[in-house]
Amino acid sequence: MSTNEKTPVKNVSKVSKNATSNKKHKNERAHQLKIYAVGSVLILLAIILLANVLLDKVLGNALTFDFSVQNSNVISDASVQFLDSLPQDAKIRIVGLFERPSSFYETKYQYIVPLLDDYQKKSNGKVTVEYVDITKNPGIIQQLDPTNSYNLKTLTGWYVVSYNGKLDVIDPVSCYTIDTDMLNETNSFIATGINTEYTFTNSMMSLVKGFTNKAYFVTGLKENGSTQFKRLLNGMGVEAVDLAVSSGFKVPADCNLLILNGPNSDITEAMYSEIKAYVEKGGKVIISVDYSADNVNEAFPNLNRLLNDMNIIVEHSMVSENDPSYMLNSKINDSQADVTDMFSEFSSEKKMHITLARPLSLTAALNSNYTTDAVLVTSKSATKSVADENNQAKQIDSNPGKINVAMRTAYNTDKPGEVYVFSTVNFTSDVYYEQFTLSDRNADFMKSCVRSMLPTSAQYNINIPVKRLDGNRLNDNKATTSAGTTVMIVFMIVLPVILSSMAVIVYNKRKNL
Amino acid sequence: MQAIFKREFLSYFRTPVGYVAMAIFTFISGFIFYTQFASGYVSISQEIITLRALFIVIVPIITMSMFAEDRRRGTEILYYTSPIEMFSVVAGKFLAAMALYFVMFINVFIHMIVVKACGGTVDAGVIGSILVFFFLAALFISIGLLASVLTDNMIISAIVAFLFILVTQLLSVIGNYCGTAVSTIMSYMGIAASTRTAANNAVSGFIGWFDPFTKTEDFSLGLFSVSALVFCISFALFFLYLSFRILEKKRWSQK
Amino acid sequence: MIEIKNLVKHYGDKKAVNDISFTVKDNEILGFLGPNGAGKTTTMNIITGYLSSTSGSVKINGHDILEEPALAKKDIGYLPEQPPLYLDMTVDEYLKFICDLKQVPAKERKEHISQIMDMVGISVVSGRLIGNLSKGYKQRVGLAQALVGDPPILILDEPTVGLDPNQIIGIRKLIKQLSKNHSIIVSSHILSEIQEIADRVVIINHGKVAAVDTIMDLSQRLSGTSKILMSFNGPAKDVSARLKMIPGIADVSIRNPGVPGEVEITLAPKAGNDVRANAFFMMAKSGWPILEFRSLNPSLEEVFLSITAG
């Protein structure tokens, strides 16, 4: 009886098994197709992911081609040669005091970050590039600058180049040359060129070679700061130290260049003798003065005596530029001055930026031991003014003519002593370089000037031409405002309207077909 | 495939869709060009890069009816019953959208002529930007096409495409959020800070790797990265293949 | 020629098509009938390649639809239930596109299209937007689409729906014309139409083939041999007795139509016997005028209803 009961159950299960296996067989084709479809999609995805990861991580850099503006992301042979010339165990650290940006397009790092990576790539391990966020890792400051001479805490966003305990700091903005016209007209910074490579290679150069010249800045004459100009000199391998005014003022024996940067009070008699002797022994001097509120009441008798002995008169008045094409922002005391032919090699620009300048002229009686030449001259429409009681400019000499604003005088020996006199502080002041940066044409000019006086420093200065960016600049004569308006009207109004009306027309026409 | 391509491309101009897309593109590219022109500095590369932002608007418009409409109107049966490979249908529609993009892009060529006429320069970076633009367009169109395959309602297709593209554009941001989220969760679990940061970076790096915009941003600088282009094309192909498979599924589906 | 063998299509647990087999010979019109949901559309979709069968095979002129899809599909013109029309194209543009799809050589296209438009009667609307056409015209454009490329096999789902009686006649004529050198499957709910044009009929129900035969044979099967209705003037009983004596007649039954003088008799012949001539001559010899003489075949509708009742 139990067997009978059991068998029906067995049969039922057999029947249902058959049913499912039949169903499986019937569904097989669909099932197979499904597996094939899903499988092929997954396999394709896997292949694609694999191929992409491989390409990216393994071959990524090899398959990147730089067609950029004159290879602005790749270092040139000059830098490569410099890197190769370094000893194998040289270790230069470039540290960006910020987190490496993941996306630096359209930031000031656009032309810097990739270029620095190229230094690292081509240096055979001699140059390393890192990015350290100083808020997260403040220890880096101690590492790089143990004596805190550079106050790195305040320099977030800057780069530090470090070699053997010696340091240089680089502001990314200084890696660009600026369109000065745009700056003057619209106060906006448009980069016209990149000199990242010049800046960094020379920075490394001067750190490695050390200083080859020493410049002394005379302090204690109520002058304003010289930090920027010192940096400019550092970058040329010229050490810059202060030399305080004292009763026993002496120009040190190792002084290659003496600088009076915008004194607002007169030098002493002792200084007069010292400096004159220094020049006549072949020394180099840069003096810059101007006519500003700080010194308008100062007569400078000793300084004047020094300069008069060298054929130069610094007048007690202010240059007023009247030629509009030389004036900047329609100001009489903020203008451009021409570089004279003799000094045209100092810059590719023909005009320099002067502000609040004093007229310089030759003495009536010339000292034949000195050869004196004009370096910068105004337009032929310049006049002279003084400040009246209300600090307004009052014209004193209405005969327009060319006025010198920079001169050079050289003591005629086999090792000529040279003095450059600038009657504007735009070539040496912090105020000027903080606004216009050390990429400005004035800085270019000064570098050439210094190089001409200190030829040994030229050896240790690699000249890497600026890579121009301003190809994007439109020709102002063709891209006029009216042309712009035409562009706007055509592209933003006319064409869209035409297209929209075509849409309507076509729609209506076809609707009724 | 030619038949499908011709029909789809011409249909863009038989209905308002093509003209509207072109009008939007012309207007916005004109605006970008004009602002640059007025400033005196024109970088066509920059203009092209900025136009990438338009994908999210234009692509859904031109892809929304690609397959959704066929499904609704019953014309998809033509694709299944004609002696034509389904993949060539997908390819034909895809190429029609690309062709429309090319026509829209003529605007930029006109801008280039204006720039040259006004003394500006058009440099190598422009070629890179153009390449990137079209490769990215391919990627996004393939995404829009997939969205159109998934539904038979045009509006839903447009919305889905919009969302897909939005997510793709925000992958880096999403990656960062996910990384932070993972890190936060791990901090609740008491895991050490260094592991947490590593995990954070790993997750955000992984997700962010897929972001096509970061991969291609250097093109405007003149840096051509082959791997970025391969990325765009291979994923475009993947989405097209996926669309093709989904279309084929209709045949043997048991639902 | 279309060969369909053991076609099965599953949707989940449901079998939409459950082992369907039949053949369509060259140059014949096959009527395809079945109640809604019987699996007609699914079957036609499978034959044309729109769907894949779960199992079974479809061979179009020797080409298996799954193994040689391009070759098989080239030979098929399909008019589905909802004509696949692009409403934003004109008739002309649309047919040009279909020519493209079906790979009609470019040189022949213009003429081919105008030929088809003439055949189907849409030449007058060739420049009009399909979306603006009436249902009747739309239907005919759909039919035109199936004819593009002159495929030897036509599968038409409700080809005359939406057409007015004149147009219907025109299309029927066209289909009959085409059957001279095409194999055609026509599916319709209008049974009288199928009755008129189809050579054979396949009736499917619940996914299975319920009947496959010529209409004549089908209705005969249902009712046995065709009965004959005769009404005449004459004595009912005498006539019926005489008729009963005719060899081949199995039964005679009398019905009084109610009209005085007229008698209605139903003759049931024995299986396989055609007694009409004998009956006529007998009546003539006896001098009883026949007023009405016709075969009583069950209509296709009756056949259909009885077959699909279960």
Bridge partners (DSSP) of residue B41 are A473
Give the mutation candidate from B111, B218, B237, B244 for the A interface (greatest A CB count, under 10 A).
Answer: B218
Q: Do B118 and A479 touch (CB under 8 A)?
A: yes
Are A9 and A80 found together in one domain? no
Are A113 and A150 found together in one domain? yes
Is the residue at C242 inside a domain?
Answer: yes
Residues of B in contact with A182 (CB under 8 A): 40
**Among A417, A438, A459, where does a domain finish?**
A438
* CA-based nearest residue in chain B for residue A29: B252
Q: Determine the angle formed by the axes of helices B55-63 and B154-169, rounding to 10 degrees.
A: 150
* CA-based nearest residue in chain C for residue B92: C101
What is the DSSP pairing of strand C2-11 with strand C14-24? antiparallel
Give the span between the Cα atoms of B154 and B171, in whole angstroms. Answer: 26
* CA-based nearest residue in chain C for residue B88: C101
* Confidence (pLDDT) at C99: 92
ipTM above threshold 0.85: no
From B254's Cα to the closest Cα of chain C, the distance in A is 4
CATH number of the domain encompassing residue A374:
3.40.50
Q: Do C80 and B251 touch (CB under 8 A)?
A: no
Q: What is the pLDDT of residues C9-29, one digit of tens each?
A: 888 788 888 888 888 888 889
* Confidence (pLDDT) at A468: 66
Query: How many structural domains compose chain A?
Result: 4
Contact A166, A204 (CB under 8 A): no
* Confidence (pLDDT) at A309: 93
| Structural domain of A262 | 212-438
Are A353 and A426 found together in one domain? yes
Residues of A in contact with B43 (CB under 8 A): 472
Task: Give A 61-100 residues with CB within 8 A of chain B.
Answer: 63-69, 72-73
**Among A118, A147, A172, where does a domain finish?**
A172
Helix (H, G, I), strand (E, B) or coil at A451: helix
Give the span between the Cα atoms of A51 and B201, in whole angstroms. Answer: 23
Contact A127, A119 (CB under 8 A): yes
Is the residue at C86 inside a domain?
Answer: yes
Q: Does A512 touch chain B (CB under 8 A)?
A: no
Q: Which two tokens stand for residue B3?
A: 């038949």
Q: Do C54 and A512 touch (CB under 8 A)?
A: no
Query: How many structural domains compose chain C?
Result: 2
Q: How many residues make up chain B in this entry? A: 255
Which chains have at least 3 CB atom pairs separated by less than 8 Å from chain B? A, C
**Among C220, C245, C271, where does a domain finish?**
C220
Nearest-CB residue to C88 (from B2, B11, B76): B11
Q: Do C87 and B11 touch (CB under 8 A)?
A: no
Is the residue at A128 inside a domain?
Answer: yes
Q: Do A30 and C8 touch (CB under 8 A)?
A: no
Q: Among residues of chain B, what percentage have pLDDT more than 70?
A: 96
Q: Do B223 and A33 touch (CB under 8 A)?
A: no
Are A54 and A73 found together in one domain? no
Are C286 and C212 found together in one domain? no
Nearest-CB residue to A26 (from C54, C129, C132): C54
Is the residue at A41 inside a domain?
Answer: yes
Are A127 and A221 found together in one domain? no
Helix (H, G, I), strand (E, B) or coil at C102: coil
From A69's Cα to the closest Cα of chain B, the distance in A is 7
Residues of A in contact with B127 (CB under 8 A): 67
**Among A63, A91, A107, where does a domain finish?**
A63
Q: Do C10 and A29 touch (CB under 8 A)?
A: no
Q: What is the pLDDT of residues A208-264, one digit of tens each?
A: 877 778 899 999 888 888 888 988 888 777 888 888 888 888 998 889 999 999 999
* Confidence (pLDDT) at A185: 65
Task: Give C 8-67 residues with CB within 8 A of chain A.
Answer: 8, 10, 52-55
Q: Do A33 and C52 touch (CB under 8 A)?
A: yes
* Confidence (pLDDT) at A10: 43
Tell me, rounded to whole angstroms, the distance of Cα A503 from its chain centroid.
51
Is the residue at C42 inside a domain?
Answer: yes
Are C215 and C228 found together in one domain? no
Chain C residues within 8 Å of chain B (Cβ atoms): 10-12, 48-52, 54, 69-71, 73-74, 76, 78, 80, 82-89, 93, 97-98, 100-103
**Among C161, C189, C220, where does a domain finish?**
C220
Is the residue at C253 inside a domain?
Answer: yes
* CA-based nearest residue in chain A for residue C55: A26
The confidence band for B89, taking pLDDT boundaries of 50, 70 and 90, is: very high
Is the residue at C302 inside a domain?
Answer: no
Residues in contact with B126: Cβ distance below 8 Å, sequence separation at least 6, in sequence order: B44, B45, B48, B112
Nearest-CB residue to B124 (from A55, A59, A68): A68
Are C73 and C148 found together in one domain? yes
Are A282 and A324 found together in one domain? yes
Contact B98, B134 (CB under 8 A): yes
Helix then strand then coil, in percent of chain A rounded to 5, is: 40, 25, 35
Are C180 and C268 found together in one domain? no
Q: Do A67 and B217 touch (CB under 8 A)?
A: no
Q: Do B231 and A52 touch (CB under 8 A)?
A: yes
pLDDT above 80: residue C122: yes
Is the residue at C308 inside a domain?
Answer: no
Q: Does C253 touch chain A (CB under 8 A)?
A: no
CATH number of the domain encompassing residue A125:
3.40.30
Is the residue at C303 inside a domain?
Answer: no
Contact A203, A161 (CB under 8 A): yes
Query: What do you get for the CA distance between the two ends of chain C, in Å?
Result: 31
Contact A173, A108 (CB under 8 A): yes
CA atoms within 13 A on the CB side of A500: 12
Are C147 and C59 found together in one domain? yes
Are A118 and A29 found together in one domain? no
Give the mutation candidate from C14, C124, C129, C137 for the A interface (greatest A CB count, under 10 A).
Answer: C129
Nearest alpha-carbon partner for B228 in A47, A102, A114, A52: A52
Residues of chain A with pLDDT under 70: 1-27, 60-72, 103-106, 149, 179-190, 456-461, 466-473, 476, 479
* Confidence (pLDDT) at C222: 61
**Among C156, C188, C220, where does a domain finish?**
C220
Residue type, C305: L
Are C245 and C182 found together in one domain? no
Are A34 and A96 found together in one domain? no
Quickly count helices (H) and strands (E) in chain B: 13, 1
Are C182 and C240 found together in one domain? no
Q: Do C52 and A30 touch (CB under 8 A)?
A: yes
* Confidence (pLDDT) at A15: 45
Is the residue at A191 inside a domain?
Answer: no
Sign, Cα dihedral of A455, A461, A465, A466: negative
Give the span between the Cα atoms of A358 and A376, in whole angstroms. Answer: 12
Decide: residue A202, CB within 10 A, 0-12 exposed, 13-18 middle, 19+ buried: buried
From A431's Cα to the closest Cα of chain B, the distance in A is 28
pTM across the whole model: 0.66
Contact A233, A263 (CB under 8 A): no
Nearest alpha-carbon partner for A436 in A428, A345, A197: A428
Q: Do C52 and A26 touch (CB under 8 A)?
A: no
* Confidence (pLDDT) at A62: 65
Work out the average pLDDT over C90-100.
93
Size of interface A-C (CB pairs under 8 A): 28
Are A73 and A58 found together in one domain? no
Is the residue at A31 inside a domain?
Answer: yes
From A32's Cα to the closest Cα of chain B, the distance in A is 10
Contact A267, A304 (CB under 8 A): no
Q: Which two tokens stand for residue A331?
A: 């100001």
pLDDT above 80: residue C197: yes
Q: What is the DSSP letter of A359?
A: P
Domain ranges of chain B: 1-155, 170-235
Give the span between the Cα atoms of A143 and A151, in whole angstroms. Answer: 13
From A486's Cα to the closest Cα of chain B, the distance in A is 9
DSSP secondary structure, C226-271, as one string: PEEEEEEES-HHHHHHHHHHSTTEEEEEEE--SSTTEEEEEEEEPT
Q: Do A511 and C129 touch (CB under 8 A)?
A: yes
| Structural domain of C82 | 2-220
CATH number of the domain encompassing residue C238:
3.30.70.260
* CA-based nearest residue in chain C for residue B82: C73
Nearest alpha-carbon partner for A207 in A240, A171, A172, A235: A235
SS3 track for A208-274:
HHCCCEEEEEEECCCCCCCHHHHHHHHCCCEEEEEEECCCCCCCCCCCCEEEEECCCCCCCHHHHHH
